[in-house]
Amino acid sequence: MQEIFRLISDYPLAAIGVTFVVVVIIFFFFMRLVKIALILLIIAIAVGGYFYLRYPDDRPVNFGEALEKGKESLTKGRELLEKGKEVYDKGKEIVDKGKGALEKGIDKGKDATDEIGKIIGGEKGSKTR
């Protein structure tokens, strides 16, 4: 740490240059973030204005009513999410059962083809009907 302070005091012009470069990098980084935030704000205002002008009867009378509608929508969304998770889990179970049945069918098919091959080939010890 002392070495850094010594370098700064020995080479003030280099320290000023490094500081300037760091400040410029930070400035451009935050300007990009500010631009993105402004663009998103403009898009949100445009969409809100469109719905405000397009459907004036559907908008809430006051902020409290809008907040209540938002909470109701959020609750319904959570319920739908839970139902979706349940359906997904049930579907996963059905697929797993189907995979098991498929494996059993494949095994039975292999056994049957082996038996048919033994019968056709005339091997001794094969099961005949």
Q: Mapped to the 3 state alphabet, what secondary structure does the chain carry? A: CHHHHHHHHHCHHHHHHHHHHHHHHHHHHHHHHHHHHHHHHHHHHHHHHHHHHHCCCCCCCCHHHHHHHHHHHHHHHHHHHHHHHHHHHHHHHHHHHHHHHHHHHHHHHHHHHHHHHHHHHCCCCCCCC
41 with 9, same domain? yes
Q: Quick check: is 35 in a domain?
A: yes
Higher pLDDT, 6 or 26: 26
53 with 101, same domain? no
Q: Quick check: is 119 in a domain?
A: yes
Q: What is the pLDDT of residues 12-67, one digit of tens each?
A: 888 888 889 999 999 888 888 889 999 999 998 888 888 878 877 776 667 788 78
pLDDT exceeds 90 at position 96: yes
To which residue do tokens 């839970």 refer?
Answer: 82
Q: Which of 7-21, 50-64, 85-99, 115-129 has the highest mean pLDDT?
A: 85-99
Which domain does 44 fall in, by range?
A: 1-59
Q: Quick check: is 22 in a domain?
A: yes
94 with 129, same domain? yes
38 with 88, same domain? no
pTM: 0.38
Q: Quick check: is 67 in a domain?
A: no
